[in-house]
Amino acid sequence: MKPKKKDIRALTKDQLRDFFVENGDKAFRGNQVYEWLWHKAVHSFDDMTSLSKATREMLDEHFVINHIEVDAMQRSNDGTIKNAIKLHDGLIVESVLIPTPTRTTACVSSQVGCSLDCKFCATARLKRMRNLNPDEIYDQVVAIDQQSRLYHNHKLSNIVFMGMGEPLMNYNNVIKAIDKITSEEGLGMSPKRITVSTSGVPKIIKKMADDEVKFNLAVSLHSAIDEVRTSIMPFNATFPLDDLREALEYWYAKTKRKITYEYIVWGGINDRKEDIKALVDFCKYVPCKVNLIEYNPIDDGEFQQASSLAINNYISNLEMHDITVNVRRSRGKDIDAACGQLANKS
Ligand code: SAH
């Protein structure tokens, strides 16, 4: 039986250069192929038109280019586009393009399903099946950039890791993907326009600070009281708020970059005075801002968006303490593309 062909995008540039030398060609050929694979993001050796036919055939004998396929695309009446992305092994993840008059943002997935069990999130129902590879994360960005140019006449401007999965539970691959996205050999995007959103894995937040990453950090907080947070995000039992706080202090000391807290207010869960007070106190540890996110209902109504009165109480209390707060309206709700609604329904 023939050995299984390797995925060529698992190779580093040096490994590609070595491959050509070992096969009697120039190392430089490796650079050319690397450029086709990443910067030009082609999905077939035949498209590498600067290479000779013999070279393309040789590559084809040894390697495959595993790549994603946009399996289905839905467009919301607010311009949001949701993609069902088919991976090389047939599994599906979703990614979303969110246009505003001034920017287009790609919301990408980092895992197939998710191992966290957040009670309010549709992705949690899928369980985690596997991590995405760096190229699978990269390809989502390329696909959305193409859609942005096609439907909105400008290139992609921002990326948020707020699709399916917990990015810090697939840290190595997320970092490799971001390296490619930000490098001139890849898409050349600024890390300042990338936000990684996490439920908060303290050890990895510290590692990110040590690694001196240049992208932004958002933490899905939703409650600053352990008991409440654990009831809606069971993962908080393993990584309680004290550990999270300590990691965030470490992050700020090293990076000097503000943290964004994402926060949904639900009626009967975190809409009491003490919930607001706990958030205000938590916000004093590290320079931050708060994004109040609109809740996107996912099922039987166990969770309900809080009243406008409760939300206004949050806003006025935070502002009274000089904490920046933004209210984030949902986008793409009609096609289940909004935060927490990604569940491969179609
Ligand atoms: N695991 C990461 C990233 C994926 S979730 C994280 O926890 O941050 C992206 C954001 O959507 C998070 O802030 C999450 O709390 C929020 N979210 C999840 N379900 C939601 C829902 N039903 N409505 C609104 N936001 C939701």
Whether 346 shows a pLDDT value over 60: the answer reads no
288 is catalytic: no
Question: Does 94 contact ligand 1 (Cβ within 6 A)?
Answer: no
pLDDT band of 341, cuts 50, 70, 90: confident
136 is catalytic: no
Give the pLDDT confidence of 174-221 residue by residue, as tens digits.
999 999 999 999 999 999 999 999 999 999 999 999 999 999 999 999
Question: Does 261 contact ligand 1 (Cβ within 6 A)?
Answer: no
pLDDT band of 48, cuts 50, 70, 90: very high
Provide the pLDDT for residue 126: 82
Output the CA 179–ligand 1 centroid distance in Å: 24
Has this prediction a pTM greater than 0.75?
A: yes
Output the CA 342–ligand 1 centroid distance in Å: 10
Domains and CATH numbers, the chain: 6-64 (1.10.150.530), 69-335 (3.20.20.70)
106 DSSP β-pair partners: 97, 159
Strands 6-7 and 63-64: parallel
**Binding residue positions for [4Fe-4S] cluster:** 114, 118, 121
Provide the pLDDT for residue 344: 67
- Distance (Å) of CA 236 to CA 111, 118, 167, 220, 300: 20, 10, 16, 11, 24
DSSP 3-state of 272: coil
Cα 69 from Cα 109, distance rounded (Å): 14
Question: How is residue 5 annotated by DSSP?
Answer: P
Question: Does 318 contact ligand 1 (Cβ within 6 A)?
Answer: no
Output the CA 252–ligand 1 centroid distance in Å: 23
**Binding residue positions for S-adenosyl-L-methionine:** 165-166, 197, 220-222, 296
